[in-house]
Amino acid sequence: MMDEKVGRDEEQLVMEQLISFIKKDDIEQFREQFFELHPYEQAQFYEKVTPPIRQKIYYYLSPQELAEVFQALEIDDDTYVEFLNEMDVSYAAAMLSEMNTDDVVDVFHELDDEDRTQYLTLMDDETAEEIHELMQYADYTAGAIMTTEYVSINENSTTRMAMNILRNEAPTAETIYYIFIMNMKKQLVGVISLRDLIVAGENVLIRDVMNERVVSVQASDDQEEVAQIMRDYNFLALPVIDEHKTLLGIITVDDIIDVIDEEAEDDYSKLAGISNFDNFEQGPFAAAKKRLPWLVMLLFLGMLTASLMAQFEDTLDAVAILAIFIPLISGTSGNSGTQALAVAVRGLATKDASNDESKMRLLLRELSTGAIMGLLCALVVTGIVYFWKGELIIGMLVGVAMCCSIIVATLAGSLIPLMMDRIGVDPAVASGPFITTLNDITSILIYLGLATAFIL
């Protein structure tokens, strides 16, 4: 904790010094200290200062230098647009031209057509064409997150030639740890790592030392599947090809980290019953707009719960003590269903439950787990009700109802996401609130149904 406080104090001191240099118009001191910082720290400074200070930064830094800062920003998409609107249009276009194309495409998706056209017009034709091509790919696909800044060589080149090409292209390439090998038809036929290239002899043909078994993805593949492949193989970059094996671009590990964060946020928001990820920067009306659809749907499901209870009004009137244990049974079953849901969604996300056999194994395990938990909870609650109220019959009724409710809830929590995955719907949509409300209905039906059958 002390080290963390010292780190924050040092960061604040550096920030104040940089601001003081700007206010004094001391460009040399500002640039000297600013470029001693890590790009992440530069981005943090740029993001936190006021618009008038940023106006000075645009004067102190070249478009190429600001591009490095802009790529390190971790902000909402809307904020990118705000920052661009602060800049002179020509300066902004030049800065965007220096960024990696995949990062520019992410920014361009947030711009309106007029601004996008204006920036593309001011860029050089080659850069503008690359950006335009990448924007044609559907969101959340490999094509949408790939970059065209990579190093490729012909299979008939020698290692000496490859090193020369690497030196020339390294400054603009997003990664140089993998060099992709093409044949005369521009098809991807191999890959060689920088390490293997360095240890190979100087005049060895690339085709003799390259790895011919290349793991690649199609441009239309889902970004979540791409992330899974990169995680499984521990790649730093992954080539993207078309149906003719032509290399279209590469996906780097930093982009995949962003994808993993994005998918995790998306799944979390769905599990919480929110249509899109809710962040602190949004106003209350925007947050309410995202949460309200799920809440209204759950409200109607809750009305179904209330109407079910009304059907057992005679039972509750005859044995009023039964009402005491309704929250206990519905709450416990809802919690067990949510636990099973989390296990099932995680299994689908990590591909541990990727085929019929593994899915069936998951269902049987959750069913057995639910039975064990239900039986133990039933014994505990039966004893508690008996010693608390002195009602053995009521205690046994509550215990049996809880056991059945937990088993059903656990089975539903694991089965529903598997069914959704089978029909092509995101299993995270089977959100925690949805499962909980559904389990409320089933637990009340089981509990009061048993009470009506055996007590009245």
Q: What is the pLDDT of residue 330?
A: 82
The length of the chain, given as a count of residues: 456
Q: What is the pLDDT of residue 2?
A: 41
Q: What is the pLDDT of residue 256?
A: 87
pLDDT along the chain (456 residues), means of 10: 52 87 92 91 91 93 92 79 91 91 84 88 88 86 89 92 90 88 92 91 89 92 88 90 92 85 66 54 63 67 71 72 82 84 78 80 90 92 87 87 90 85 69 71 84 73
Which domains are delineated in the chain? 12-136 (1.25.60.10), 152-255 (3.10.580.10), 284-454 (1.10.357.20)
Residue 8: how many other CB atoms lie within 10 Å: 10
Q: What is the pLDDT of residue 92?
A: 92
Positive or negative, the CA dihedral 94, 97, 102, 108 is positive
Q: What is the pLDDT of residue 344?
A: 83
Residues 6+ apart with CB under 8 A from 149: 100, 101, 172, 173, 174
The Cα 308–Cα 373 span in angstroms is 26
Q: What amino acid occupies position 449?
A: G
Residues 6+ apart with CB under 8 A from 346: 352
Q: What is the pLDDT of residue 28?
A: 92
Short-list 271, 276, 298, 272, CA closest to 287: 276
Beta partners for residue 240, in sequence order: 217, 249
Residues 125-163 have pLDDT tens digits of 888 888 888 888 888 899 988 988 899 999 999 999 999
Q: What is the pLDDT of residue 336?
A: 86
Question: How far from the centroid of its chain's Cα atoms is residue 302's Cα?
Answer: 30
List own/partner pairs for 381-388 with CB under 8 A and 24 or more apart: 381/325, 381/328, 385/325
Positive or negative, the CA dihedral 442, 446, 447, 449 is positive
The Cα 43–Cα 59 span in angstroms is 16
> What pTM, to 2 d.p., does this model score?
0.63
Helix axes 63-71, 89-98, angle to 10 degrees: 60
